[in-house]
């Protein structure tokens, strides 16, 4: 049944949400989570905050699914991310000293950022190559080629739970050898390229 629902449009899935269809919700979540997270992270570079914002948006989508009519789901979700991030930033309390510090932070040149990123990217790929073969394949499909867990499961003829396990295990091993902040920046950078 889930495989059949994967082919449905956003509008068709939204109609199923109105009757609280959990599978339809999961498909929409898989379809949009990475894109919304990347968009939030592009605006506000704090992983945990961006994850919370996207999670809150999906909770709100689920709760309002019976009463809200949305004609363009992607536009609605992206607008919701932008508004939530703006509200979060507005709610931060900065005094003049903080603002002065922020204004005086020098911006590194574009070429410096590019070189640092390329070196870091090469390091991450070396670490990916150290993973077991199936985990490498799943991580590459998930994080580099932007496949959903369901699509990976269908492509590799394994269960979604097995895909999740490979991703979890692979990311855990990668995070041990790579600085967590840089790792999240790298993953987000790959998502933004998609």
How confident is the model at residue 103, as a pLDDT? 58
Distance CA 26, CA 35 (A): 15
Average pLDDT over residues 126-152: 86
Q: Which long-range contacts (CB under 8 A, 24 or more apart) does 65-70 make?
A: 65/14, 65/17, 65/18, 65/20, 65/25, 66/18, 66/20, 70/14
Q: pLDDT confidence of 54, banded at 50, 70, 90? A: very high
Percentages (nearest 5) of helix, strand, coil residues in the chain = 80, 0, 20
Number of Cβ atoms within 10 Å of the Cβ of 19: 9
Check if the beta carbon of residue 6 is closer than 8 Å to that of residue 21: no
In tens, the pLDDT along 34-52 reads 999 988 888 878 888 889 9
How confident is the model at residue 139, as a pLDDT? 85
| pLDDT: which is higher, 84 or 44 | 84
Check if the beta carbon of residue 37 is closer than 8 Å to that of residue 51: yes
- DSSP element (H, E) containing 181: helix 180-193
How confident is the model at residue 169, as a pLDDT? 85
| pLDDT: which is higher, 123 or 140 | 140
Q: pLDDT confidence of 111, banded at 50, 70, 90? A: low
How confident is the model at residue 128, as a pLDDT? 85
Tokens of 126: 């070396």
Q: Which domains does the chain have, with CATH numbers?
A: 2-91 (1.10.1740.10), 108-193 (1.10.10.10)
């Amino acid at each position: 049944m889930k495989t059949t629902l994967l082919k449905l449009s956003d509008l068709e899935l939204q109609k199923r949400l109105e009757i609280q269809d959990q599978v339809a919700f999961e498909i929409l979540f898989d379809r949009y989570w990475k894109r919304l997270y990347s968009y939030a992270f592009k605006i506000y570079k704090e992983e945990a905050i961006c994850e919370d914002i996207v999670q809150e948006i999906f909770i709100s989508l689920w709760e309002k699914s019976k009463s809200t009519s949305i004609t363009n789901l992607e536009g609605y979700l992206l607008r919701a991310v932008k508004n939530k991030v703006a509200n979060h930033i507005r709610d931060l309390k900065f005094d003049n000293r903080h603002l002065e510090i922020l204004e005086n932070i020098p911006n590194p040149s574009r070429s410096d950022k590019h070189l640092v990123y390329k070196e870091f990217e090469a390091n991450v790929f070396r670490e990916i190559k150290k993973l077991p073969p199936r985990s490498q394949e799943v991580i590459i499909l998930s994080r580099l080629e932007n496949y959903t867990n369901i699509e990976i499961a269908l492509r590799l003829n394994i269960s979604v739970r097995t895909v999740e396990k490979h991703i979890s295990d692979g990311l855990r091993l990668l995070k041990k050898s790579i600085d967590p902040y840089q790792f999240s920046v790298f993953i987000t950078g790959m998502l933004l390229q998609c």
